[in-house]
Amino acid sequence: MTEIAQTRSVPRVETTLVHAHGIAALVTLLISVTCGIIVALQLLYPDLGAGTPWLSWGRLRYAHTQGIMLGWLGNAFFAFLYHAVPILSGRPVTSTRLGRWLFALWNFAVMLPGWVLVLAGVSQPLEWAEFPLVVDAVVVVALVMAAVQFLPPFFARGLEYLYVSSWYIIGGLVFTLLSYPMGNIVPEYVPGAAGAAFSGLWIHDAVGLFVTPMALAIIYFVIPAATRRPIYSHLLSMLGFWLLFFLYPLNGTHHYVFSIIPMSAQLTAIAASALLGVDVIIVVANLLLSLRGAGIIPKDPGLRFVATGTWFYLIVSVQGSMQAQMSVNQAVHFTDWVVAHSHLAMLGFASFAAAGGLVHTWQRIPWARYNARAINHAYWLVVAGLLLMFVDLTLAGLVQGQLWADGAPWIESVQASRVYWVIRAHGSSWLIAGGFISLLVGLTTGPVGGGLKAVADSVGAEPIAQIAPKLVPLAGGAA
């Protein structure tokens, strides 16, 4: 009996919903990047957009951050889930009709009105929670719908059949549904430091309980699927999972070191941040060992994106654990060091994982267009732009922090930052934008079925028994 014949047939993948969310992800990404480029230019040219309220710096920044998290990453994660959940669970998603409603709600009742409202000046002054309460209510409804759509297939066969990507998907959907109201709604009704503490928790829960689990689910899925080998250690993968969900909810208060929030809470967050760095080292070691034999720069484009995202995950997480410590925090807080850190997290780790997941799923849609050359160009442009931006803003942050520590007038730090802001606004930002445009071109042009042919001629497109019985149970497994 052949290996493919031994594997259980995979339920139908809703490729139209994969495609729809993928295109929406790329469109919202380009809009969000455009907003980011404009606010970068406004630091150099303060009169840019003057007299036009919706082009003001604050409103465009809100549109930029919410667009990246909910528009780009949210849609990209949903696209991946429609591909991965049937393969991981052996069951189809709950409902195609529910999927259409979820797509419409997320893009036309969350993203579109959310952007319109924040650009019109209707927003919340909360980090990573800028969309107003009326949009937050719709987001919560959409998250409930996502839980109903994607979670039931995992429980149909028992927990013993769950692969680590399944655990991360379940954890990400459940914890985001719980933490989103805490960070986006509660601070509006809890005044003072207590409300700020809730907001601080959400700043990191947004990254740690939504973005990180979904990105790691993609990475843990793509690596074995593209290398045709199981992950190095299932034990290490589960250890990393449980440590993430135990530690991450504790460390959000490290955004308020030296604040009026009780010192016990601050020290707990600092300790949790340090331990989280250990967890990340465990996870990344497992992933890199799983990549052995794939090469430093893997040939498969989806694998290349997620492998690079894994390295970014290690760097940004160790950096985060370090800057949570009081001595480092005192030197870099409020500087461009933090901006560099956040971009490495969201445009480095998360976006490379999301792009890798999109490319991987696109290659397995028989009717999708696929342009390998454009995708290759996208990878190198974004890598170059992101590394330039990260180094540039990190250096700017160190200069700013030193000037503030020396007691120099604040305007001197602005003047000293200008050369770094020029590099970001006129250099790295355009490389990143060009890379993402190239990614859109790569997934919308080229021959129909070109991705599937490329995969079929190399590693093969079928889920294989080598990746599990955890991932694809053999035909004799439980129903």
DSSP state letters, 46-104: TTTTTT-GGGSHHHHHHHHHHIIIIIIIHHHHHHHHHHHHHHHHSS--S-HHHHHHHHH
- This prediction has a pTM of 0.94
Write the pLDDT tens digit of every residue in 361-416: 999 999 999 999 999 999 999 999 999 999 999 999 999 999 999 999 999 999 99
- Chain-centroid distance of CA 46 in Å reads 31
For residue 467, what pLDDT band results from cuts at 50, 70 and 90? Answer: very low
What is the CATH number assigned to the segment(s) 3-457?
1.20.210.10
Q: Is the pLDDT of residue 7 over 50?
A: no
Mean pLDDT rounded to a whole number for the chain:
92
Give me the helix-helix angle, 234-247 and 212-227, nearest 10°.
170
Domain boundaries, the chain: 3-457
Tell me the chain's radius of gyration from C-alpha atoms. 22
In 3D, which of 152, 154, 208, 214 has the Cα closest to residue 180? 208
Q: Is the pLDDT of residue 5 over 50?
A: no
Residue 128 is given by DSSP the state: T
Query: For 307, phi and psi rounded to 5 degrees?
Result: -65, -45
pLDDT recorded at residue 392: 98
For residue 11, what pLDDT band results from cuts at 50, 70 and 90? Answer: confident
Mean pLDDT calculated for residue range 330-340: 96
In 3D, which of 252, 289, 287, 256 has the Cα closest to residue 272? 252
Measured over the CA atoms of residue 130, residue 131, residue 136 and residue 142, the dihedral's sign is: negative
Mean pLDDT calculated for residue range 6-17: 73
Query: For 447, phi and psi rounded to 5 degrees?
Result: -70, 145
Write the pLDDT tens digit of every residue in 246-273: 998 888 888 889 988 889 989 999 999 9
Q: Is the pLDDT of residue 4 over 70?
A: no
Q: Is the pLDDT of residue 1 over 60?
A: no
Write the pLDDT tens digit of every residue in 305-317: 999 999 999 999 9
For residue 471, what pLDDT band results from cuts at 50, 70 and 90? Answer: very low
User: 7 - beta bridge partners?
Assistant: 474
Q: Is the Cβ–Cβ distance between 466 and 229 less than 8 Å?
A: yes
Q: Is the Cβ–Cβ distance between 41 and 48 less than 8 Å?
A: yes
pLDDT recorded at residue 2: 31
DSSP state letters, 314-326: HHHHHHHHHHTSH
For residue 20, what pLDDT band results from cuts at 50, 70 and 90? Answer: very high
Q: How many residues in the chain?
A: 479
Q: Is the Cβ–Cβ distance between 276 and 247 less than 8 Å?
A: yes
pLDDT recorded at residue 475: 39
Six-digit token string for 210: 């939504």
pLDDT recorded at residue 133: 96
More confident residue, 52 or 199: 52
Write the pLDDT tens digit of every residue in 122-165: 999 898 999 999 999 999 999 999 999 999 999 887 777 788 99
